Copies of this chain bind each other. A is one copy, B any other.
Amino acid sequence: MELIYKGKTKDVYKLSDNQVLLKFKDDVTGVNGVFDPGANTVGLTIDGVGRSGLKMTSYFFEKLEKTGIPTHYISSDIDEVSMTVKQAKAFGKGLEVICRYRAVGSFIRRYGAYCEEGMPLDKFVEVTIKDDERGDPTISKDALVMLQVLSDEDYEKIKTLTKEICDVVKAELAQKDLELYDIKLEFGKDKETDEIILIDEISGGNMRVYQAGNYITPMELEKAFLG
C-alpha cells in the first residue's frame, strides 16, 4: 500500500481511487508529555491508545450513520488498528471545527474576562485553521468566505452538522454518566459525490470528557464508555 500522508496520530494509505486506509498510531497530541486535545504537537505515546481511539471512532461513526449523518466511514479492522474510509477533499489546508458545552481549554484562555472556568456554553461552534506554524488560529465565517476557504452556505451546513453530531456524542456519553465539555471535528468533501462529510475520528483524543467533575483521559474514557 502506498503511504500518502503521515499524520500526528494516524497514517494514511491509498486503497483505490476513492478510498483510503487510516492506520491509528499510539501517539496523542499534547505538550511536554501531557495530553491536550487542542494541541498541535505529539505530546506522548501511550500503548494501545490507537486501538482505543479506533474502537470509539467505529462506535460513533456507526451510530452517526444510523441517524443519517454523512461520514467518511466504511469499515474498521480493530486487530489491524485500521479504518477504511471514503477519500475526502479538505477545505483549504484543513479546518478544525470545535463545539463547546463548557468553557475550558483555549476558550477560557481567550475569553476568561467574560466567563468562569467550566461555565456552561450554549453548544458554541468555532473554527480554527490547521496551521502548526501559526498555532492553529481561530477564523470567522467572514474570513473563511473572503479567503475562499469555504462558501457561506458550506459554513452554515458544517455548523448545523456539528451541532447535530455533537448532540449525538454528548447524549451517548451521558448514558454512562460521562459529560462532554468540548470536542473537535473535521469535515471534508466526498471525493466522489462532493457531499460534505464528517472525516477523521471521534475518540478521547479529540474531546474533553468529565465524570463527576473530574477529567477522564482518552484511555479511561474508552474503558468507561465501551468496556
A positions within 8 Å CB-CB of B: 92-93, 109-115, 121-122, 124-126, 129, 131, 133-134, 137-143, 146-147, 149
Asked if A142 and B113 make an inter-chain contact with CB atoms under 8 angstroms apart, the answer reads no
Residues from chain B with a CB closer than 8 A to the CB of A146 are 121-122, 124
CB distance from A143 to the nearest CB of B (A): 7
CB distance from A57 to the nearest CB of B (A): 27
Copies of this protein in the assembly total 2
CB distance from A92 to the nearest CB of B (A): 6
Asked if A126 and B114 make an inter-chain contact with CB atoms under 8 angstroms apart, the answer reads no
Contact of A129 among B113, B133, B142 (CB under 8 A): B113
Asked if B140 and A113 make an inter-chain contact with CB atoms under 8 angstroms apart, the answer reads no
19 further interface pairs, Cβ-Cβ under 8 Å (given A109-B134, A111-B134, A115-B147): A111-B137, A111-B139, A111-B147, A112-B134, A113-B129, A113-B131, A113-B133, A113-B134, A114-B129, A114-B147, A114-B149, A121-B146, A124-B142, A124-B146, A126-B140, A126-B143, A138-B138, A140-B140, A140-B141
